């Protein structure tokens, strides 16, 4: 398991809205640090709900180039 903190976020793309957990590695302080890292092309979410569906997906990987907005879910 990767060391870091788990944060629940909402990611909006052109096609869907994803709500899931992201792990921010220990060497990073903020979610934005992860998204601004040019070496990372995909963002991995776990325990994901897509467009408020009843069922959750265990894992979704999103291409950062398709993301329109990100918010932290309290």
Q: Which class for 22: exposed (0-12), middle (13-18), buried (19 or more C-beta within 10 A)? A: buried
Q: How far apart are CA 72 and CA 74, in angstroms?
A: 6
* Segment (H or E) for 63: strand 57-63
Q: What's this model's pTM, rounded to 2 decimal places?
A: 0.88
Q: Residue 65 sits in which domain range?
A: 4-72
Give the pLDDT confidence of 21-67 residue by residue, as tens digits.
999 887 777 888 888 889 989 999 999 999 989 999 999 999 999 99
| Reported confidence tier of residue 18, pLDDT bands at 50, 70, 90 | very high
Q: What pLDDT score was predicted for residue 27?
A: 78
The CATH number given to whatever domain includes residue 32 is: 2.30.30.100
> How much is the pLDDT for 1?
53
Residue 38 token pair: 């040019």
How many structural domains are present in the chain? 1
pLDDT score of 48: 98
Phi/psi for 8 (5° steps) reads -85, 125
Q: Residue 15 pLDDT more than 70?
A: yes
């Amino acid at each position: 398991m990767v060391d870091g903190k788990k944060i629940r976020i909402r990611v909006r793309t052109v096609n869907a809205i994803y709500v899931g957990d992201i792990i921010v590695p220990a060497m990073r302080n903020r979610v934005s640090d992860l998204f601004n890292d040019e070496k990372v092309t995909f963002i991995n979410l776990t325990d994901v709900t897509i467009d408020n569906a009843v069922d959750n997906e265990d894992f979704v990987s999103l291409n950062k180039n398709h993301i329109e907005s990100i918010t932290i879910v309290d």
